[in-house]
Structure 1
Amino acid sequence: MDSQPMSEPLIIKQQTDKWQRISPIAMLYFIVKIILGLLGNIVYLAPAVIFGYKEIIAHPHIWLPVATLVLILIFIGTFLSFYFFQYRLSNGHIEIRSGVFSKKHINLPFTRIQNVKLEQPLYYRPFNYTCMQLDTAGSNKQEAKVVALKLDFAEALKQEILSQHHRQNIYSEDGTDSNDTLETDSEKTNDSINTNETLLNTRSLTDLIIHGLTNNRIWIFLGGLAPFFDDMGNAIANFFKSFGIDIEQFFMFADKSWWQIGLFALTLTFMAMLLLSLFSVAGAILSYYNFTLTKLGDRYIRRSGLLTKHEVTMRLSRLQMIVQQQDWLDIILKRMNVKFEQSNAHGGNYQPGAANNKIIIPSVKAYESQRLIDDVYPENKVHSVIYQGISKRFLLRNIGYFLSPIYIVIAIFLLYHSNFSVLLGATIAYLFISLLIFCRWKRWGYAVDKQFIYIRKGMLGVDYYCFPIYKVQQTQFVQSWFLKRHRLSVIKFVLAAGSQKIPFIDQKIGYHLIDNALFQVESSKRSWM
């Protein structure tokens, strides 16, 4: 049993000492990448698409040549991307050459690799292939990705990278913390869980449905479809006309009473919300299906995905911050999302479920959330600590100095023109926005103990942030003329996972928080990684 792990690195070196081409199956990956790239830029391509669509409608005979040309271009781009992609392993490095017009050559030492992630799209599973993504700490983008490797070969390569880090840690002479070890694991990306792993959490289909309902992000999708709303509306109207139903007649309100209009609007709203919820639930199931969170040593491993299986691994030493989020519907259903944030190498904050810089546990109950947080930070007091509120001058500045003057000007203008119906709407909007600002002020709070900084914020929902003080990399003390006049300040704590701020607190307290954080960072001498 002991001889097999030792032989794997030799096999890898013999097989990949020279430049290697990836499997032709990688062309499936490049095709999907091109199509997703086009869809991702639909807003910029919309004018050309709309113009082309109208031209094809006006001249139906040109659709076949246009479609053929598009397919040929996609095929050529796919083949060239595959042809120019090569990789090799030599002397503890991985080198990757890629690019058609813009050439890219990556030379990445194994000892610099912090994350090894395996991603297995649906179209790779029958052929037992996978994608290997390699990241380094502090990079602003994904460092390297080999897009088509045999699954067993990828696992052997992952073991070779792991052994390189193990040897480096053993022979380190500068006394550095072992926190710089590799964030990866030796488990495969299939559905089975290694018996050495401790199962921390799973999500049922019911949990995913609740997550989809409480975390609706369909508005982004609808925004991309905005240029096509007119054509979609005409297509729907023509579809119903083919069955003898004039759907446009339902939108003629001149001959209907107020209660009929109200009932129709309410019904239409419920139908739209149902459709949006179905899209959101489908997205949650695609992202989090068969969700498992396990622990192997000091590594947390999240696996999930229906069409594309994702595996995200986080070493405890690389964890920067835990976040517990509750939207207003989460509060009603007594659910919450827990996030383990690590270094934000990809520049974004909150990505979908497959994000590489965080582990997201969706729609957990309160006791499950507390159990997960306690496993990470056993001495945390995120729910028992007393939070200090921010100054009421937050309300004065946002409602008194900004919102109210705008409302008064609009109200005077509407009164002058005797437009009382619009004035009523403006007044309702003013009161509603004021209520949201009040809720924002009421939610914001902070607390500090010997080890952690806690921040609470939200509006209709509530989010809790907890991070060790020694993880702070930078502090900022901000004062505008308004804040300085009232001896207030905004404090920012910058971590590898992003920044968190505490606004409208007394400047003396702000200086104290900054001094305390800097003192602990310097005196503890603990690595943030």
Structure 2
Amino acid sequence: MPNTKLSGNDVANTHEETTSEVNAHESSHLTGSHQNNQAQTKQWQRLSPIAILFFAMSFIQGLFGQLIYIAPALIIGYKQITENPTLWLPIVITLLTVLAISAVLKFYYFQYRLSKNTIEIRAGVFKKSHTNLPFSRIQNVKLEQPIYYRLTGYACLQLDTAGSSKQEVKIAALPLAFAEALKKEILAQHEKHNNEDCSDDKKPLASTLSTHDTNLTSAQQETLLNTRSVKDLIIHGVTSNRIWIFLGASAPFFDNAYAFINEKLSNYGINLAAAFDLNTHSWLEVGLYALTITFLMMFALTLFSILGSVMTFYGYTLSKVGDKYIRRSGLFTKHEVTMRLSRLQMIIQKQDWLDMVLKRINLKFEQSGAKLYGASTQALNNKIMVPSITPEQSLQLINEVYPENNLSTVNFTAISKHFLVRYLAYMLLPLFAFCQSTLLYTAQYELAASLIVPFVFIGFLIVMRWYRWGYASDEHFIYVRKGYVGVDYYCFPIYKVQQTTLKQSIMMEKSQLATTRFILAAGVITIPYLSQNAAYQLLNKTLIQVESSDKSWM
């Protein structure tokens, strides 16, 4: 058990002795140890030995993340490895040895200490690092409980600083009660900094911790805003497009997968090559076989997507305490993400085509330093997202966060039709004409005919892209709509904008058009092909409000 005493300064006054003893008792209850109040902050603390397991799992995750780089070597050497299975033995032994040594060394060299509302971290085996992070700089706090920590009562604490796009500090294997109390203290520092005098900084950290815990419990009760059932998560898995990402990542292994499946089916008397032989089967039969196999593959991939959705969002709750929003979810690894309202940069309402059919919406709350695009499980775990909610639930949550928004009633202005002229007349049609003329000249008539369908489909997507793209604004917000078959809505307060740009090509300038970009702490929003006057009016309105507003962007 790590020594996690939270005393900050010696207690000097005799009349405070009783209070000091109570605070010391509360701190020792969190840490599991009873020690002196003196000089604790000067002592570096080690993690619990169970942190070795966390570092080992991190090593394995990093190794899997590098598979894309070693995949070609594995594919090339697959036959040799299968013919000589003993080649795996030294590789496995080497990896296990490196894994064990790396995990133990990372655990040994990781130390932390708390003092005067500051957390310090020393880490690194070969490349040493020393992080000094005041609580006042921490903007986002996340608790994470892998399954092996849930069984032992430990948690990982992740701390993000203002505007950071990656985690700053992650402390593994803290006692759960201590991690939760420390999280509350960190979040309370912002309110304390804004509402109280700096004299409280002179109190022992244990004292301020217990005081803020009491205040949060008595004055700010947690309000439940939304939950997700297993049915909702299944719908999210079905509508999620992560199966296409899986297909793309699996492309290098298609040949080996086909050979493996063909071999297994041959054992049951099924010959795929014969089933697709046009010499013995008609086009209709081959088409039906292909359609059947496609549906079976899609069904299997959809099951994987549903499994991923349930694992990520099981037990989902979104709640509110004061100005803080808390998302909890996870089947095996339990995640808890806390976001202050001031850190929220924009809301995104996303609907793919299947979401539109089922009347479901994925609602995202984008924070400072967040990436607008990212479909990895880790990215989903680190942000506040409400999966597969109804339009009514989405509107309720949006109004909870931005009471003055008009997203549901605002009228969007479409971008210029010059967007179609550029991508259809100047790009797609010349390319189509060149390909067709080349194929017809070389007498490849069947290939020329087959190219018509993909070109028509691309043209359809370009038209839908233009049709979906629109913008609007009111006194407080800018709204952007875009998509292809599905539709996404972006809503952000004008005062959150940190930078604006206006771009014009020579052709756009002649047509009195411009493209605007709004840069926020959460990313960049682009509106192309506006009329030049509308672009200048929108940018001037934004800059005037940003300059005159006394609100902080975070």
Structure-2-length-normalised TM-score: 0.86
1:234-383 paired onto structure 2 within 5 Å: 234-344=259-369, 352=377, 355=380, 358-383=383-408
1:426, distance to aligned residue in structure 2 (A): 1.8
Alignment-mate amino acid for residue 360 of structure 1: M
**CA deviation string 1:139-190 (max 9, x = no partner):** 24211111111111212322443454444334469xxxxxxxxxxx979xxx
Question: Residue 142 in 1 paired to residue 167 in 2?
Answer: yes
Q: Deviation string for 1:382-429 (max 9, x for gaps)? A: 121111111111100110011111111111112222322222222222
In the other structure, the counterpart of 1:78 is 103
**SS of residue matched to 1:211:** helix
Q: Secondary structure at the match of 1:306?
A: coil
Cα distance in 1 for partners of 2:24, 2:397 equals 36
Is the CA contact 2:478–2:493 (under 8 Å) kept in the aligned structure 1?
yes
Match of residue 391, structure 1, among 404, 416, 441:
416
Partners of 1:347 and 1:21 in 2: CA distance: 36
Give the direction of change, closer, same or farther, for the CA distance of 1:356–1:218 in structure 2 (3 Å limit).
Answer: closer
Q: Is residue 366–residue 372 contact of structure 2 (8 Å, CA) maintained in 1? A: no
**1:105-504 alignment to 2 at 5 Å?**
105-171=130-196, 196-344=221-369, 352=377, 355=380, 358-504=383-529
Moved more, 357-366 or 451-460: 357-366
Deviation at 1:466, TM superposition (A): 0.9
Which deviates further from its counterpart, 309-318 or 6-15? 6-15
Give the C-alpha shift of residue 136 in structure 1. Answer: 0.5
Partner of 2:88: 63
SS in 1 for 2:331: coil
CA shift in 2, pair 1:163/1:489, >3 Å: closer
Deviation at 1:241, TM superposition (A): 3.6
Find the residue that maps to 1:46 and give its secondary structure: helix
Secondary structure of 2:541 counterpart: helix
Most deviating of 114-123 and 70-79 = 70-79
Counterpart amino acid of residue 100 in structure 1? V
Secondary structure of the 1:127 match is coil
Count of matched residue positions in the alignment of Structure 1 and Structure 2: 511
Moved more, 69-78 or 31-40: 69-78
Which amino acid in structure 1 is aligned with residue 279 of structure 2? A
**Aligned-pair CA distance for 1:220:** 2.6
Most deviating of 225-234 and 469-478: 225-234
Q: 1:363 to 1:225 in 2, by over 3 A?
A: same
Distance 1:215 1:431, change over 3 A: same
What runs of 5+ residues in structure 1 fail to find an aligned partner?
A: 174-184, 188-193
2-side partners of 1:357 and 1:283: how far apart? 15
Q: Which residue of 1 aligns with 2:548?
A: 523
Larger mean CA deviation between 261-270 and 148-157 belongs to 148-157
Are 1:444 and 1:458, in contact at CA under 8 Å, matched by a contact in 2? yes
Distance 1:78 1:223, change over 3 A: farther
TM-score (norm 1): 0.90
User: How big is the alpha-carbon RMSD for the aligned residues of Structure 1 and Structure 2?
Assistant: 2.5
Q: Is the 8 A contact 2:220 2:322 kept in 1?
A: no
User: Residue 318 of structure 2 contacts residue 326 of structure 2 at CA under 8 Å; is this kept in 1?
Assistant: yes
Give, in angstroms, the shift of residue 72 of structure 1: 1.4
Shift of 1:44: 0.6
Deviates more, 1:289-298 or 1:339-348: 339-348
Structure 1 residues 170, 74: closer, same or farther in 2, change over 3 A?
Answer: same
**Partner AA of 1:506 in structure 2:** S
Work out whether residues 492 and 502 of structure 1, in 8 Å CA contact, stay in contact via their aligned partners in 2. Answer: yes
Structure 1 residue 295: Cα displacement: 1.2
Residues 58, 99 of structure 1: CA spacing in aligned structure 2 closer, same or farther, 3 A cutoff? same
Are 1:476 and 1:492, in contact at CA under 8 Å, matched by a contact in 2? yes
Rounded Cα–Cα distance in structure 2 between residues aligned with 1:315 and 1:195: 14
- Rounded to whole Å, the distance in 1 between the matches of 2:52 and 2:266 is 43
SS in 1 for 2:280: coil
* In structure 1, distance between residues paired with 2:436 and 2:523: 41
Structure 2 Cα separation of the partners of residues 356 and 122 of structure 1: 15
User: 2-side partners of 1:17 and 1:348: how far apart?
Assistant: 42
Take 2:381 and 2:547, find their aligned partners in 1: how far apart are those partners?
30
Q: How does 1:26-105 map to 2 (within 5 A)?
A: 26-50=51-75, 53-105=78-130
Give distance in 2, aligned partners of 1:440 and 1:311.
36
> Does structure 2 retain, via aligned residues, the 8 Å contact 1:87–1:96?
yes
Amino acid in structure 2 at the alignment position of 1:523: S
**How big is the shift at 1:351?**
5.3
Q: Secondary structure at the match of 2:342?
A: helix
CA apart distance, 1:49? 3.1
Cα deviation 1:462-511 (Å, max 9, x = unaligned): 11111111111111111011211101000111111111111111111111
Distance change >3 Å, CA 346–CA 53, structure 1 → 2: same
Specify whether residues 399 and 202 from structure 1 end up closer, same or farther in structure 2 by C-alpha distance, changes over 3 A only.
same
SS of the equivalent of 1:307 reads coil
Structure 1 contact 87–94 (Cα < 8 Å) conserved: yes
Contact 1:139–1:346, Cα closer than 8 Å, also in 2: no
Deviation at 1:132, TM superposition (A): 0.5
Which amino acid counterpart does residue 254 of structure 1 have in structure 2? N
Are the counterparts in 1 of residues 312 and 381 from structure 2 also a CA contact under 8 Å? no
Partner-residue secondary structure (3-state), 2:406? coil
Aligned partner of 1:177 in structure 2 is none
| Aligned-pair identity (%) | 53
Cα distance in 2 between the residues matched to 1:50 and 1:277: 26
Q: Which amino acid aligns with 1:19?
A: W
Could you say which residue in structure 1 is the equivalent of 2:204? none
Contact kept in structure 2, 1:447 and 1:454, CA below 8 Å: yes
Report if the CA contact (8 A) 1:8-1:160 is conserved: no
Find the aligned partners of 1:234 and 1:479 in 2 and give their Cα distance: 53
**Structure 1 pair 484–172 and aligned structure 2 pair: CA distance change class (3 A):** farther
Summarize deviations over 1:100-120 as a string: whole Å, max 9, x none: 222222111122111221100
In 2: Cα distance, 1:385 partner to 1:107 partner: 46
- Whichever residue aligns with residue 301 of structure 1, its letter is I
Task: Name the amino acid aligned to 2:62.
Answer: G
Structure 2: state its 5+ residue gaps.
Answer: 1-18, 32-36, 199-211
8 Å contact kept, 1:9–1:160: no
The equivalent residue for 2:43 is 18
- In the alignment, what sits opposite 1:512? 537
Q: 1:5-64 deviations in whole A, cap 9, x for unaligned?
A: 786568877666411211111111111111111111111111343455444333333433
